[in-house]
Structure 1
Amino acid sequence: MTSSRVDLYIYDLSKGMAAIMSPIIIGKKIDGVWHTAITVYEREYFFTASGVENCIPGTTALGPPLKQIKLGETQVPYPVFIEYLNGLSQSSYGANTYQLLSHNCNNFSDELAQFLCGTGIPKYILDLPNEVLQTNLGSTLVPLISQWEQSARPTVQTQSEATTREKSPDLDQQIEEARYKSFVLEQRRKKLKEKLAKRERKKEKRRKKLIKEGHSEVLELEETEMADTEAALNPSESSLPSEQAMQLEEEERRQEEERKRLRDPPVIYKTLHDINVEFDALVGLIDGKLSQEEQTSLEELHKFMLEDEGSWVLGETFLVFIGRLLNDKTLPVEVRVKTLNVLALAALKDDVILLLHQDRREHILMNYAFDIDRHSLEEQEGVALFMCNMFENLSSSEWMLYISEWAYNNQQTSNIRVTTKVAVHSLLSDSSVLQERGSAIIHNLACKEKMFKNFKIRQRLPKGSLSKVFDDVAVELTMALLQFFNGKPSEENLFRCMKALAKFVEISRQEVPQLIQMIGPDPKTFKGTSPRIDELIEKISSKCR
């Protein structure tokens, strides 16, 4: 797992004036009026009266920091960090929560540091407000400090930038998404460089050995390989990727496949539908009913699914096209079913996450899934299939657990809530197909290794963020499982559900065991169904004693 350095930037808002004025005003010397920020992932993050903000490190109106302290290294993945940050900015660190002396930038920096690397900021910074207020005239400094705090802002924008920001309220989100994509590409490039450097070191040893043994032809080989290395590291300077770069791409793909193999495998459906059959059927159903722009989107879908192009081929209006296919009631229900089947196959593609990120503003896919109980049975099966297959890739499965909320049909929802609703609805359905897919979704949710193995990260998350929400989800899913157990589940469905329950008793160590004891049925009721289920029952029982 890659790590990123975490630094604390310390600024003196008074720029030295506090040290001079404090003995005169309050009879006690104060070295500075501290403003702090956390720098990580090549950005500076801080909290002001305007809410959580970020900028290029050192580019606020305060200039460079007075001190820069390394707090440690973080292994929290960047997407998880962004979700965590969004959770803070929408809850405990919203703009209306700022209090100059009791809930300020330093409290934010301390909480962020604890989350990222398990260490807080220096105590003398956090204790400063109390030191000031305990003096007789401490309150007289408050207006002055408030005035100084206004300088802790990113560098003033140009007029055109300010106008653009006013006209585009989603600009911050677009910038953050672009930064995320850039971050992923940069990480990939760094890995490529590291692999090339490692390979070059091995080849250098081999070349020296050959030279020592008198093989002069190695010098010619060296020049050729150096050229290949340069081309691989600078692809823009080469019209075609070098053989070495292609080999490294293949090696990286194999490593990713190995990662997938070693993790607890999700239940997915790769061969249930044939993409050629589903796509041709969809085209036949909508032929002559599309605008020119929609026809272009259909061609993009063909390139993505049948010509094996990357998701980059899908244009900006592609999801609007998908939204029409899913929500236009003048189209036959078969259109929605075929669309969902194609999307379920698209979910198996490695780069589907780039498509999903395009939907973070309109939420076309998740709003449709949220209404699963209003759709026909065939559509419900399609939604559940899409959800199952989303667990094929680590990035898309994490996307399904995002906690950022939006308003839909006069209520707040989020990806994790939609995923949970689809799972519960499917499991408790009368349809055997939906029950099977519901058990698969719950199994996949429970086996998300990120959620269960890093308990320390979970504990650092604030109330309302990813793991705390998932703790609540574990309780909700447990209640659905116990209700499902009152029926006559098949061995396969029972195994998936018992496996999920065994995970839930680990993550919610009080509530889930209590629910099992109070509501029942006792998992031991199913003892003897199969050896693998007996093993899971023993694990669950050991946690419920």
Structure 2
Amino acid sequence: MSSGSIAEPNTMASEEGVPVDLYIYDLSNGMAALLAPSIIGRHVEGVWHTGVVVYEREYFYGGTGVSSCAPGGTQLGAPYKVERLGTTFVPFPVFNEYIQGLATTTYTGSAYRLLEHNCNHFSDEVAQFLCGARVPKHIVAQPERDLPPALRLALEAVLYKLVPDGDQVYANGVRHSRRDSPDFLTLNNQIEEARVASQELGARRSTLAEKLARKERRKEKKRKKQRGQDGDVADLDDDMAEAVEVVTEQRAALAGPSSRDLDAEADERLAEEQRRRARDPPIIYRDIDGAQEFEAFSKALEGAELNADEQQSLDELQQYLVQGEGSWVLGDEFLSFIGRVLSDDGLKSECRVGALRCLAAAALRDDVSLLLHQDRRHHALLAYAHRVDAHPPPEQLALAVFICNLFENTSSSEWLLYISEWEANGQTLSNIRVTTKVCVHCVLSEAGELRDAGTALLYNVATKEVKTVVFDEVCVELCMAVLQLVAWAPGEETLWRALAALARLGAHSAEVPQLVAMVGPDPSAFR
């Protein structure tokens, strides 16, 4: 999905988020405004095509599937209008996986329909996923609004004459199709990386050849100097060449790391994360069977009044957990359904336990992060988790198991530790603070089973590498919980988890060893 000479998108998302824009094009290039009155008896401003621009790429859908190019890089030229939809905090790898899921399921080339399932529906769905925004309704609903049923075929025929490929757009003269390969984006990115590397290698070779030529000139001038020819000029040229070389190298050093350096740094961080996981594998509850948990959840919901959307969401959960479909089967309303189950006091507690156990089973799958990032609008999952101390013990345990299992995959564990703030019930919260509250509450619980889950979660959090000021504060809070737990002389396994976590927290924050020294007990007492 990447066009030939366009550089790889900048995938480094800042804490302020990445801007998301909607590029709006008139496919008819003004012809619709001229012809519509005579065809349908009313004015139509344009025939709209849209693309979503994020991470320095424009993503769109047409007759050959999902494609991407540089912003404004299609044959349609400059967009008719650009609208800012918002900002996103979805990591690029997660977004990339989401796009590939759409391209191989709902938005294949064969599924394209000019009026019923087109680029605008695709843009609307992607915008909701990225930042909870919607494509303007008049664009998505244009067929229903501007076209009476009896005249749809007539207008569709006219549109195909105006735009021979319907809604298909060409990027830089190249047609892009997701049907070519499921790994089309990855392959193109690799080609682009190779091209950039080749250019850099060529530049280095050119620089090296230039340096060698300069040295050869200096040698020649020295030989002339020894023969008494142009001695002073040779010295001056030699000094100037060396000065230029020094200044060039200093400028390169001051310019900071290049994009390739940043990519190498990201690869190193990923490698370090994998080494850390191999050294300190997370504590996960793997004895959860998705099919059994779904059956228990469905039974608990018997007698509950579910509307059509909620029943559809329940059916989608069955496809995901029982039939093994990807998380793409979970529709836009799925988390609203889960949010209702978790917040509706009219439902039995067994319903909430069932929902959380199903989520714990889902957490073991590598595509669960796509589901988590859909919760950025309502924060239904973590808003419920923040009230952990108000829930009955079975719900607390199911919640702790769910959060522990999210450490099975790097992307979902990082989601738990996001520091971006959001509002819930008049309070300013963040994912990392909610995770910390659940951890501390469970660690200090009087119930042995809940304390076991709490220390597992404590260990998982402590063995993550998070370089933020917020995590320093988290380290102190978790340290205090560990010291209080250790003073109770817990069992061997619980004690090992607590002290292993304490050692890692001490490596993260310089305040932890000071607290241990002040509060005690001395860790050396636990041999």
Partner in structure 2 of residue 293 of structure 1? 309
Partner in structure 2 of residue 284 of structure 1? 299
Distance in 2 (CA, whole Å) between partners of 1:178 and 1:430 is 38
Task: State which of 69, 87, 92 in structure 2 corresponds to 1:173.
Answer: 87
Distance in 2 (CA, whole Å) between partners of 1:185 and 1:339 is 24
Poorly superposed stretches of 4+, deviation over 6 Å:
185-188, 255-261
8 Å contact from structure 2 (residues 339, 380) kept in 1: yes
Partner in structure 1 of residue 501 of structure 2? 500
- Alpha-carbon spacing, 1:295–1:374, altered in 2? closer, same or farther (3 Å): same
How far is the alpha carbon of 1:322 from its aligned partner? Answer: 0.4
Let me know the Cα RMSD of the aligned residues: 3.4
Name the TM-score, length of structure 2 as normaliser: 0.53
Secondary structure, aligned partner of 1:172 = strand
In the alignment, residue 432 of structure 1 is paired with which amino acid?
A: G
Partner in structure 2 of residue 472 of structure 1? 473
- Alpha-carbon spacing, 1:268–1:307, altered in 2? closer, same or farther (3 Å): same
8 Å contact from structure 1 (residues 428, 484) kept in 2: yes
Distance in 2 (CA, whole Å) between partners of 1:400 and 1:333 is 24
In the alignment, residue 501 of structure 1 is paired with which amino acid?
A: L
Unmatched segments (≥5 aa) in structure 2: 1-6, 19-71, 73-77, 102-175, 188-270
Distance in 2 (CA, whole Å) between partners of 1:357 and 1:182 is 10
- Alpha-carbon spacing, 1:366–1:441, altered in 2? closer, same or farther (3 Å): same
How far is the alpha carbon of 1:160 from its aligned partner? Answer: 5.7
Partner in structure 1 of residue 48 of structure 2? none
Secondary structure, aligned partner of 1:395 = helix
Q: What is the number of equivalent residue pairs in this alignment?
A: 304
Distance in 1 (CA, whole Å) between partners of 2:371 and 2:274 is 24
Matches within 5 A, 1:33-432: 42-43=9-10, 78=11, 81-82=12-13, 84-86=15-17, 161-162=82-83, 165=84, 171-173=85-87, 177=90, 181-183=94-96, 236-237=179-180, 262-271=278-287, 273-288=288-303, 289-432=305-448
Secondary structure, aligned partner of 1:359 = helix
How far is the alpha carbon of 1:287 from its aligned partner? Answer: 3.0
- Alpha-carbon spacing, 1:402–1:41, altered in 2? closer, same or farther (3 Å): farther
Identity of aligned residues (%): 46
- Alpha-carbon spacing, 1:525–1:263, altered in 2? closer, same or farther (3 Å): closer
Distance in 1 (CA, whole Å) between partners of 2:323 and 2:92 is 29
Distance in 2 (CA, whole Å) between partners of 1:426 and 1:392 is 19
8 Å contact from structure 1 (residues 269, 385) kept in 2: yes
Larger radius of gyration: 2
In the alignment, residue 180 of structure 2 is paired with which amino acid?
A: E
Deviations 1:360-406 (A, max 9, x none): 12100000000000101111111111111010001100111101101
Deviations 1:168-195 (A, max 9, x none): xxx3235x6496644457999xxxxxxx
8 Å contact from structure 2 (residues 15, 420) kept in 1: no
- Alpha-carbon spacing, 1:263–1:496, altered in 2? closer, same or farther (3 Å): same
Distance in 2 (CA, whole Å) between partners of 1:187 and 1:311 is 12
Distance in 2 (CA, whole Å) between partners of 1:319 and 1:185 is 17
Deviations 1:246-288 (A, max 9, x none): xxxxxxxxx99987962420001010x3333321121122235
Name the TM-score, length of structure 1 as normaliser: 0.51
- Alpha-carbon spacing, 1:322–1:514, altered in 2? closer, same or farther (3 Å): same
Distance in 2 (CA, whole Å) between partners of 1:326 and 1:359 is 14
Partner in structure 2 of residue 27 of structure 1? none
- Alpha-carbon spacing, 1:161–1:321, altered in 2? closer, same or farther (3 Å): same
In the alignment, residue 291 of structure 2 is paired with which amino acid?
A: N
Distance in 1 (CA, whole Å) between partners of 2:293 and 2:274 is 30
Distance in 2 (CA, whole Å) between partners of 1:523 and 1:308 is 46
8 Å contact from structure 1 (residues 427, 436) kept in 2: yes
Secondary structure, aligned partner of 2:353 = helix
- Alpha-carbon spacing, 1:280–1:263, altered in 2? closer, same or farther (3 Å): same
Unmatched segments (≥5 aa) in structure 1: 1-39, 44-77, 88-153, 166-170, 189-232, 246-254, 452-457, 459-466, 528-545
In the alignment, residue 86 of structure 2 is paired with which amino acid?
A: D
